[in-house]
Amino acid sequence: MNEEILTQLNPPQREAVETTEGPLLVLAGAGSGKTRVLTYRIANLIENRGVAPWNILAITFTNKAAKEMAERVEALVGSAVNDMWVRTFHSACVRILRRNIELLGYSSNFNIIDADDQKALVKECLRELRLSDEEFPVKVVLNEISGAKDKLLSPADYVKEYGEEYRLSQIGRIYALYQRKLRNANDLDFDDLIMLTVRLFEDNPEVLDFYRKKFLYILVDEYQDTNRAQNKLILQLAGEHGNICVVGDDDQSIYRFRGADVTNILEFERHFPEVKTIRLEQNYRSTQNILDAANSVIKNNSGRKGKNLWTDAGSGAPIEVYRANNDFDEGDYVVNTISSLVDEGYKYGDIALLFRARSSSKVIEDIFMRAAVPYRVLSGLRFYDRKEIRDMVAYLRLVKNPDDDISLRRVINVPSRKIGKVTMDTITSVASREGVSLYKAIEDHVGEFKGGVADFYGIMQRLRALVGTTPIDELLSAVYRESGYEAFLEKDDKAAERMENVGELISGARHYIETVEEPDFDDYMDNLVLVSDVDNYDEELDAVTMMTMHAAKGLEFPVVFICGFDEGVFPGMQSIYGGPDEIQEERRLCYVALTRAKKRLYLTGSHSRMTFGKTSSYRPSRFLSEIPEELMETTDAREEQRLRRERLREQLPDSVRKPKPVAPGLTVTAGEGFAPKGDLTLKAGDTVRHAKFGEGVIISAEPVGNDVHYKISFSGVGEKNLLGLYAKLTKIN
């Protein structure tokens, strides 16, 4: 590296690169070039300060980030990168443990078990301790064990701290047995890699001294995402020489649910009082309007280090805010806007849709499918690929066609009915011998299959009796309830999210009923198959990206839509009732989401949303009120409709605008589910809503026998002639 290369850095970046001795805290705002600072700092140490590559340790969180950093360092210093450690926390600890773990009583040829192995091991522990996995769900137990290890709590420490509460004391027993089994098998899980390295250093000062002398310069990326164990590890290694550079952004600490502790970066100077702090505030990603919005939101958090992002790229386009009538209207707006953006020259791959929770994407996914908009889901499954949705759809398929063996195998023991492999083998044998489906074999021999099989058959018979007489959404609700799936999900550690997904499926069925003239079960199921089987897009294809805000961290897009910008959706109800810390975490998440956008930013919300087949009202997110109005252009669908109605009325003849009353005593009852309880008298000049044609103004209302003939002007489709008893009109106040 030479002086000419250093001139490519802005002044704060260069200061961070050239400050090589002592503790350094680099507060790197979104898009401010933190990776460049880290790589140039490493190159400066090697090329200009004569530091040996093997005396440098660079730590980050993902293999992808570590690979990218190594490649950029190699471009600056060549093969010297091969002699330094550019690693994730876990890979660095594996390397240390392979050399020293025998000091802890393990063999150096230990295995690292994955998540599925962990689940199997916990199940084995539950069986041995005679504890129910319904009372102690495996995922919940593993989350507790992982959290304990993140806090460096051994099983004995965990019991000592939480043992007075029965449930946690039992988890402590499971944790103790789980660790014994790992130890006996010479296995480690991922959390052990950090925890045991910390313990190794605590119990063996000579080992710690070796690595302190080896790693004379330590650099840590994304420091705001470290947990207690990771922070302790870094402090151990840097404790003597203090040549540690941590780079991060307290405003982007969004992984509290994974154990990340933002106080690690906020209190860094407590461990190193002589620390030098440098702020990287020049942004190379977004327009100033986007940055001003992000700055305005995040400044409402307390206890932060503080910084103000700026750019010399110009103000850019205003942030566009759309308040939809409902979530389906919101989806239509997104699709129509994307179409306009593509016409302007943007590619689908330039566009990202961000959601607080993946379940919120279901409506827009449906609309994208109908509009043939290519999309992919990053860091997650498509809505229809989720296990709970596939299970519910499998139940529906079996209700529709009991000879569907694939669907039966999927759901016969979901939720668990204690139908084991031996029983399933017997059913399969009978079906094969008699040449019938599995369901038919059960039906013909139900007296021989008792317990869970008989229970399952009874449930399916009751559900099948509803077909043809029950609306699809109510049938779905019955499947959810009668199958036991609802009670099953309530015991899951992700109950809220998974139940919300099922609620979205039911809402979609209700929407289908309301928007199709002749709803049909077969047609609905065919549509589900089409939606489920499409979307096999390669990541290289030109497609809109859908993801959660958490998954978007570290990414950037020319165009970003943040959908569901409503109070109760973002921030969510759990955060609202969770207290100030939860809201501050949500605000940081908002800051991250806003700063993913480079050129265009859209914030969409809705006056009402359908959840579990019921419509609820929403007001704008509190975060919207924290953005200055001059940065935004806001469109409110309800206000636009009101103005359209006024313009439409102005175009009507005086005889319609000032109509004679409808014939005395004539009362028209709106269809069930489309109007408030009681009768409505509709007359010329009234504004009404029709399920298919939308909003319109009544031009005339003429009695016809026991009904009324309406002539209605609809804003989108022109004039229509309708009979009141069949039109199912809703009067709009």
Tell me the pLDDT tens digit for each residue of 391-400: 998 898 788 8
More confident residue, 3 or 165: 165
635 near 325, Cβ under 8 Å?
no
More confident residue, 550 or 641: 550
Q: What pLDDT, on a 0 to 100 scale, did the predictor assign at position 667?
A: 44
Give the tokens for residue 167: 């449930």
DSSP 357: S
Give the tokens for residue 579: 């207290």
Residue 135 carries which side chain, given as an amino acid letter?
A: E
32-44 tens-digit pLDDT: 999 999 999 999 9
The rounded distance, in Å, linking the Cα atoms of 248 and 34 is 8
DSSP β-bridge partners for residue 276: 24
Residue 271 carries which side chain, given as an amino acid letter?
A: H
Q: What pLDDT, on a 0 to 100 scale, did the predictor assign at position 350?
A: 94
Q: Of 443, 419, 421, whose CA–CA distance to 430 is shortest?
A: 443
For residue 522, what pLDDT band results from cuts at 50, 70 and 90? confident
Percent of the chain with pLDDT over 70: 90
353-370 tens-digit pLDDT: 999 987 778 889 888 988
Q: Tell me how long the chain is.
A: 733
Q: What pLDDT, on a 0 to 100 scale, did the predictor assign at position 526?
A: 59
Average pLDDT, the chain: 86
For residue 534, what pLDDT band results from cuts at 50, 70 and 90? very low
Catalytic residues: 34-35, 221-222, 252, 596
581-632 tens-digit pLDDT: 999 999 999 999 999 999 999 999 999 988 777 888 999 999 999 999 999 9
Q: What pLDDT, on a 0 to 100 scale, did the predictor assign at position 447?
A: 86
Q: What pLDDT, on a 0 to 100 scale, did the predictor assign at position 536?
A: 38
Q: Tell me what the mean pLDDT of segment 322-349 comes to.
A: 94
Q: What pLDDT, on a 0 to 100 scale, did the predictor assign at position 665?
A: 42
Q: Where do runs of H (alpha helix) occur along 401-520?
A: 405-411, 421-434, 438-444, 452-464, 472-482, 485-490, 495-515
DSSP β-bridge partners for residue 80: none
The rounded distance, in Å, linking the Cα atoms of 179 and 75 is 44
Other C-beta atoms closer than 10 Å to the C-beta of 7 total 8
The rounded distance, in Å, linking the Cα atoms of 112 and 74 is 30
Peptide bond into 205 cis (omega under 30): no
Distance of CA 437 to the CA centre of its chain: 39
DSSP 661: P
Q: Tell me what the mean pLDDT of segment 100-110 comes to.
A: 88
Q: Of 556, 580, 577, 554, whose CA–CA distance to 567 is shortest?
A: 577
Q: Where do runs of H (alpha helix) occur along 204-262?
A: 205-214, 228-238
For residue 673, what pLDDT band results from cuts at 50, 70 and 90? very low
637-672 tens-digit pLDDT: 887 777 766 766 666 666 555 555 544 444 444 443
Residue-wise burial string across 184-209, b where 16 or more C-beta atoms lie within 10 A, e elsewhere: eeebbbbbbbbbbbbbbbeeeeebbe
pLDDT at 136 over 70: yes
Residue-wise burial string across 233-264, b where 16 or more C-beta atoms lie within 10 A, e elsewhere: bbebbbeebebbbbbbbbbbbbbbeebbbbeb
Percent of the chain with pLDDT over 90: 52
Q: Of 343, 396, 331, 429, whose CA–CA distance to 528 is shortest?
A: 396
More confident residue, 483 or 679: 483
Helix 421-434 crosses helix 452-464 at what angle (to 10 degrees)? 60
Q: What pLDDT, on a 0 to 100 scale, did the predictor assign at position 707?
A: 77
Q: What pLDDT, on a 0 to 100 scale, did the predictor assign at position 656?
A: 55
Q: Tell me what the mean pLDDT of segment 705-714 comes to.
A: 80
Distance of CA 69 to the CA centre of its chain: 27
The rounded distance, in Å, linking the Cα atoms of 245 and 253 is 18
In DSSP notation, 323-338 reads EEEEHHHHHHHHHHHH
SS3 assignment, position 85: strand
For residue 211, what pLDDT band results from cuts at 50, 70 and 90? very high
Q: Is the pTM of this model over 0.75?
A: no
DSSP 609: E
pLDDT at 22 over 60: yes
621 near 566, Cβ under 8 Å?
yes
Phi first, then psi: give them for residue 394, nearest 5 degrees: -60, -40
